[in-house]
Amino acid sequence: MKVARRIIVRTVSLLTAAVLFTFVQGCARSQRPGAEVTSRNARPPAPESSPTPAATPAPTQAPPRPELSEAPPVDLRECVRRVYGDTLTVEDGRPDNYVTGDFNGDGSHDVAVFVRPGRGKIEAINDELANWILEDPRKVQELGAAKVSAAPGERPPRERVARGDLLLAIIHGHKGEGWRNPAATQTYLLRNAAGSGLRTMTRAEALEGLRADVRPPELSGDVMSQTLAGERGFLYWNGAKYAWHQRAHSD
């Protein structure tokens, strides 16, 4: 009995020792440096990517418009067509066929361009109800000059355009866009005003060349200098119409 009891106790001890050894070995494996390194080097999960916003297209810039002092042929034709319709055509065959400036002194840029009557449009141009003012600047009196006597109730004959006449159309500008503004429709049509060497002169330049003993005209803005019928002078705005001032001496 004593021998059997010893055998049982020894067997139980051996089994207990085997179980403990197995448990210790398993714990040792879980604590190996390789496992720790593996978990340390593991890549974290990639964050959810937010959608990339669509690129905003750069605003399209309009091509720069020419300066108001520049009037390409297409712009001149468009301006004349807007005001006169098909009654007038731009005279393209001369190098000095237009000038620009503030001729009536209102701060807005005006344009003056040589034109001819359209085919079959003489009657429409001479119509008293037309939207333009037809004048001969050489017949317009300068302010301050002695008035020409006339019979009571007599009216000077109205100017009339003939076929083939070379005319000067002056279109007053409107606000900052000047003569390119669609609202720029006030216009004067001048007969006997087509000379040579047409150019813009400032008010100061025009007055500087006048004789000291001659009373200067009252100028509101820029003037249109040229040689007209062999006389050097300039067209200017007298507050109501365009008049011609002949210079007392050559420039």
Mean pLDDT estimate for the chain: 79
User: What percent of the chain is modeled with pLDDT above 70?
Assistant: 65
Question: Which tens digits make up the pLDDT trace of 139-156?
Answer: 997 654 445 445 555 566
What digits encode the pLDDT tens for the residues 175-211?
999 999 999 999 999 999 999 999 999 999 998 878 7
Residue 138 has what pLDDT? Answer: 93
Q: Picking from 9-23, 25-39, 74-88, 222-236, which range would have the lowest pLDDT averaged per residue?
A: 25-39
When pLDDT is cut at 50, 70 and 90, the band that residue 56 belongs to is: low
∠150-168-115 over CA atoms, to 5°?
Answer: 135
Question: Is pLDDT of 158 > 90?
Answer: no
pLDDT of residue 36: 46
Residue 243 β-bridge partners: 236
pLDDT band (50, 70, 90) for residue 249:
low
pLDDT at 214: 73
Where residue 33 falls among pLDDT bands split at 50, 70, 90?
Answer: very low
Confidence band, pLDDT 50/70/90 cuts, at residue 97: very high
Confidence grade of residue 69 (pLDDT, cut at 50, 70, 90): confident
**Which of 226, 204, 222, 235 lies closest to 69, judged by CA?**
222
Average pLDDT of span 230-242: 94
Res. 96 pLDDT band, cuts 50 70 90 = confident
**pLDDT at position 76:** 93
Q: Which of 230, 228, 108 is nearest to 175 (CA)?
A: 108
- Reported as a pLDDT band with limits 50, 70 and 90, residue 235 is very high
pLDDT band per the 50, 70, 90 thresholds, residue 35? very low
What is the per-residue pLDDT across 201-226, written as a single tens digit (0 to 9) for each? Answer: 999 999 887 877 677 888 999 999 99
Find, among 88, 234, 233, 232, the residue nearest to 171 by Cα: 88
- pTM of the predicted model as reported, rounded to 2 decimal places: 0.69
